[in-house]
Amino acid sequence: MTSPNMFIVYVSDVARTVDFYRQVFDLVPSFFPSPGFATFALADGVDLALWSGYDGALVGDPVRTSEVTVCLTGGPDVIEEQHRAWTALGVTVLEAPHDAVFGRTFVIADPDGNRIRVAPVD
């Protein structure tokens, strides 16, 4: 069976966004050959890519219909602690911590407004 193995996030400045993702995810790029493309290895054979090669993706005020999600174990207190840690870094908070149908959650934005959600493990 074929499964998705790379998720691409469109960004205007790959180097700037690599630095942002390094800070919030504590990851080092696994592939960063040019100023226009980088990847982070998330799991065996699964990557998160940052790409600035498609200029139209960020023109105007694009609608964000997807999110990068980090699922944490440990309950609502862990979600709140992650929110405090990232807020201390100066991230843009799009949704403050709140309860959703799946538990405590919040959403931040990367430098281009791409959504990053923190939620509990199901």
Q: Does 16 map to a domain?
A: yes
CATH number where 7 lies:
3.30.720.120
Q: Are residues 47 and 97 in the same domain?
A: no
Task: Please report, for the domain that includes residue 99, its CATH number.
Answer: 3.30.720.110
Predicted confidence band of residue 55 (pLDDT cuts 50, 70, 90): low
Instruction: Please indicate, yes or no, if residue 60 is contained in any of the structural domains.
Output: no
Mean pLDDT of the chain: 93
Residue 35's nearest CA partner among 10, 55, 52 is: 52
54: pLDDT strictly greater than 90: no
The number of folded domains in the chain is 2
For the cut 90, the answer to whether the pLDDT of residue 76 exceeds it is yes
Please tell me whether residues 50 and 73 are part of one structural domain.
Answer: no
The structure tokens listed for 39 are 């990847």
Are the CB atoms for 67 and 107 separated by under 8 Å?
yes
Is there a single domain that holds both residue 47 and residue 87?
no
| 95 lies in the same domain as 50 | no
Look up tokens 């700037």; give the residue: 16
Neighbours of 20 (CB within 10 A): 22
- The share of the chain scoring above pLDDT 90, in percent, equals 81
| pTM (2 d.p.) | 0.91
Residue 26 Rama label (left phi>0; alpha psi -120 to 50; beta): left
Q: Quick one: 36 and 77 in the same domain?
A: no
β-strand pairing of 67-72 with 115-120: parallel
Instruction: Identify which has the larger pLDDT, 96 or 55.
Output: 96
pLDDT of residue 78: 97
The pair phi, psi for residue 44, each rounded to 5°, is -55, 110
**Residue 6 sits in which domain range?**
1-55
Query: Are residues 71 and 26 both part of a single domain?
Result: no
70 and 120 both lie in a single domain: yes
Helices (H), 1-99: 14-25, 76-88
